[in-house]
Chain A
Amino acid sequence: MDEGTLCPNCLESAVRKPQDQFFENRRVMYDSIALAAATWPALLISPVIIGAPVALYLTIRHWRSPRSLVGRSRIRFYLAALFAITEIVLIALVIVVSIVAGSRK
């Protein structure tokens, strides 16, 4: 949109329920949340049990959600999915190894 004229009511409703991204004044960056959920809990190891599935869920759920207004690739989603899957595989391995080791005793 170039400079147009809108009445105050139209402007208010356009900002409240933006049909056009021109009226958007905020966006949630789900890709950053997913990446944070996949990486930060890994620093403390055990919270990965929650963080990895959350990251994977956010990646799938918001894959098509609008990203930044100024253009942003899906690299964060790719990384989040990669980390989350790796963490889940590692958790599964640890559980399997523990069960096998326990049954041998």
Chain B
Amino acid sequence: MTSPHYQRLTRKRRSMGGHTQLWLAPSHLLLVSSAFFVERYQRFFLSQIQSITVTRLPRRPWLQILLPVLGAACLVLLWHLPLWRWFFGIIDAIVLAWSAIDLLKGPECRCVLQTATGVHDLRPVSRMRTARRFLERVVPLIEERQGTLTAEDSIPATALVPPPLPQPRAGLRGAALPWFLFSLLLLNALVSGLVLGNVWAQGLPLLPELLFGEVVLAAATGLSRDVRSHPMLRNMVLLILLLSVVDISTTTGLIVIRRYLALMKLREAAPSEGSLWLSTAQTAIAGVAWRTVAGTLGLLSCLRPRRTAGQL
């Protein structure tokens, strides 16, 4: 048995830490799922494919509204927070590029392949354009193997029993950890904002515990099974964890530098106390901003029911 020569059928559909892609061999389709450093393979013989169902999914106008709003917010922050100029510049570029690419890729779809052994979600076929190209390539090959359906072979539509679709992954209404995490993010944003604005200065001693709790909760949420099976939320939690760590270490670093300089009495040679305090305050303002956005988006994604192939 020789190694078959594979031809690429779809582009890589990337997610955090991996990708999925479809390849074509003379006798079968190969679904490659890569997660970090391991590739997993699933083969579907052309002669055994019973059906391929492509369902167009509804557009996501909220994403096309939200992303430019987020981009504009980043632009405002970029203008007002010189220390975080690079950070918000990069975030802004990513957000705007994401919005443009999403528009250019066209409508989304879900593609499900059925064989005698079960129903399989073909994740790389996620856009209508890709689905059309995929079907144009694969259907003739399947017909070559299985023969073309004639009028006598075809079953009246009324007699068709829809195949059992893969069970939609459960929503996150029942999962407690994401709710706690996103609520804590909003709480931290609120407390930081009140402390920054000198409205509730007594809240300052609470912040280290709240921020530490945020990191622990983000790590626990990222590891929980509910979130791991929900790619968008998992990526969001990982990003939150990264931002939390960077944010806390930056703030702590600036405070430590200030204290060190005060201790060494090097204030004349070093940046002034005022500018250091300003940079710490800017870090805190940026922290309030991203926590508010992440907390709100997270709670919205927990509330929003997941789309399934059956829903239009």
**Within 8 Å of chain B (Cβ to Cβ): is A104?**
no
| B70-125 interface (Cβ within 8 A of A) | none
Task: Tell me the bound Cα distance from A83 to B237 in angstroms.
Answer: 31
Does more than half of chain B's interface fall in helix, strand or loop, or is it mixed?
strand
**Within 8 Å of chain A (Cβ to Cβ): is B47?**
yes
- Chain A min CB distance to B13 (Å): 15
Q: Which residues of A contact B48 (CB under 8 A)?
A: 3
Q: Which residues of A contact B37 (CB under 8 A)?
A: 28-30, 32-33, 36
**Within 8 Å of chain B (Cβ to Cβ): is A57?**
no
Whether B6 contacts A26 by the Cβ 8 Å rule is no
Which of B38-46, B190-198, B204-212, B253-261 contacts its partner? B38-46
**Within 8 Å of chain A (Cβ to Cβ): is B32?**
yes
Q: Which residues of B contact A25 (CB under 8 A)?
A: 40-42
Whether B45 contacts A3 by the Cβ 8 Å rule is yes
- Chain A min CB distance to B19 (Å): 12
Most buried by A among B26, B41, B42, B47: B41
Other A-B contacts than A3-B45, A69-B3, 9 sampled, CB-CB below 8 A, are A1-B1, A3-B48, A22-B4, A25-B42, A29-B38, A29-B39, A69-B6, A69-B30, A70-B21
Q: Which residues of A contact B34 (CB under 8 A)?
A: 29
Q: Which residues of A contact B42 (CB under 8 A)?
A: 25
**Within 8 Å of chain B (Cβ to Cβ): is A68?**
yes
- Chain B min CB distance to A65 (Å): 12
Q: Per-residue CB proximity of A10-47 to B under 8 Å, as 1/0?
A: 00000000001110111111101100100000000000
Q: Which residues of A contact B26 (CB under 8 A)?
A: 2
6 closest Cβ contacts across the A-B interface? Answer: A1-B1, A20-B1, A70-B6, A2-B27, A26-B40, A33-B37
**Within 8 Å of chain A (Cβ to Cβ): is B23?**
yes
**Within 8 Å of chain B (Cβ to Cβ): is A102?**
no
Most buried by B among A2, A20, A21, A68: A2
**Within 8 Å of chain B (Cβ to Cβ): is A71?**
yes
Name 29 interchain pairs, CB-CB below 8 A, sorted by A: A1-B1, A2-B27, A3-B45, A3-B47, A3-B48, A22-B1, A22-B3, A22-B4, A25-B41, A26-B38, A26-B40, A27-B38, A27-B39, A28-B37, A29-B34, A29-B37, A29-B38, A30-B37, A32-B37, A68-B39, A69-B3, A69-B6, A69-B39, A69-B41, A70-B6, A70-B8, A70-B21, A70-B23, A70-B32
Q: Which residues of B contact A28 (CB under 8 A)?
A: 37-38
The residue on B at minimum CB distance from A4 is B1
- Chain B min CB distance to A18 (Å): 11
Task: Tell me the bound Cα distance from A20 to B34 in angstroms.
Answer: 21
Whether A71 contacts B6 by the Cβ 8 Å rule is yes
The residue on A at minimum CB distance from B32 is A70
Q: Per-residue CB proximity of B1-15 to A under 8 Å, as 1/0?
A: 101101010000000
- Chain A min CB distance to B86 (Å): 16
- Chain B min CB distance to A45 (Å): 15
- Chain A min CB distance to B211 (Å): 22
